[in-house]
A = this chain, B = another copy of it.
Amino acid sequence: MRPDDANVAGNVHGGTVLKMIEEAGAIISTRHCNSQNGERCVAALARVERTDFLSPMCIGEVAHVSAEITYTSKHSVEVQVHVMSENILTGTKKLTNKATLWYVPLSLKNVDKVLEVPPVVYSRQEQEEEGRKRYEAQKLERMETKWRNGDIIQPVLNPEPNTVSYSQSSLIHLVGPSDCTLHGFVHGGVTMKLMDEVAGIVAARHCKTNIVTASVDAINFHDKIRKGCVITISGRMTFTSNKSMEIEVLVDADPVVNNFVKRYRAASAFFTYVSLSPEGKSLPVPQLVPETEDEKKRFEEGKGRYLQMKAKRQGQAETQA
């Protein structure tokens, strides 16, 4: 990990970790989908399941990323990725991240055509059944969160501190060759890195301290982003608990050199950030002040997600105890 991968305090950006995870996932699933004779294809990221950042990674550490295919449906591949950080001076290794990603194989001849996935071989019989359940669950969730294209983040004049308008931020990015696969669309990992960057700016503007990514909610990729697009990544704070902030990030693609394709929603997700003292201790965050009806509604929804996750964690803790 190099200085450019990290914030001023030396913690590696969550987005850098997400990008590495996606690279590993794209390699293993593209390799698998081409393992039989037939049409050549490239695996495109469709979804990343919710993931927690378990321990921070620092500049100078070595990241170990390992990926495994854990389920295949007719048209999709599930990949599980583990990230370990190793301090090569002390020898300490820590689990940083576990993530589950879904890929879809697209034909190299026509990237709008989805091909069939060769079935993976399971070592235990239950694995197939468990995978199928995860597959059905994510399919359902994807349908529920189909994004309303109309929902855009509007700027506001002279906002008050601690309001949603005060910290909301947008970034535009002109897609360049190194953001893309050879087949002319943007790597999912590049998009996630930009999403984390915007979420981080929103969080820093809100609490004016050093902040780090704590977790990312499921990210759905609704559509490919092609070469030559301008993408707008917008973030707004939706909810604060005592010590965490939830930020919604929307990605819109605008094919500037093509009049026939309209601007469309390409991806969306919720990022959770925490604020850290210079010594690395988690700090209380200023409470968000929702103003409009929509902001209040989103605050309540965010609270719902927060309480649900808290309950789930306590359940896990009790099970383990």
Binding site for B on A (CB under 8 A): 2-4, 6-8, 23, 26-27, 30-31, 34-35, 37, 40-42, 59-60, 62, 86, 88-91, 108, 154-155, 157, 161, 169-174, 176-178, 180-182, 197-198, 200-201, 204-205, 208-210, 227-228, 230, 254, 256-259
Contact = CB atoms under 8 A, between A and B. Distances in A.
B178 A201 contact: no
Contact of A31 (B30, B170, B230): B230
This chain's copy number in the assembly: 3
Contact of A62 (B27, B155, B176, B258): B27
Given A59-B8, A227-B182, A256 B30 contact: yes
Contacts of A2: 3-4, 178
B256 A27 contact: yes
Contact of A27 (B7, B174, B259): B174
4 closest Cβ pairs, A-B complex: A3-B177, A178-B178, A31-B88, A204-B256
B208 A59 contact: no
Nearest to A205: B88
Given A42-B89, A208-B259, 6 more contacts: A34-B91, A40-B258, A60-B181, A89-B209, A91-B205, A208-B257
Contacts of A30: 88-89, 256-257
A91 B286 CA distance: 15
Contacts of A182: 3, 59-60, 176-177, 227-228
B208 A34 contact: no
Contact of A230 (B59, B86, B157, B205): B205
B4 A256 contact: no
A42 B257 contact: yes
Contacts of A59: 8, 182
A191 to B, nearest CB: 15
Contacts of A31: 86, 88, 91, 230, 256
15 contacts: A8-B60, A8-B227, A26-B174, A27-B256, A30-B89, A31-B88, A42-B257, A62-B201, A91-B205, A170-B172, A177-B178, A204-B257, A205-B230, A205-B256, A208-B259
Nearest to A171: B172
Contacts of A259: 34-35, 37, 208
Given A34-B259, A91-B34, A256-B34, A197 B174 contact: yes
Contacts of A227: 8, 182
A35 B41 CA distance: 35
A178 B3 contact: yes
Contacts of A174: 23, 26-27, 197, 200-201, 204
A70 to B, nearest CB: 19
A88 B230 contact: no
A88 B201 contact: yes
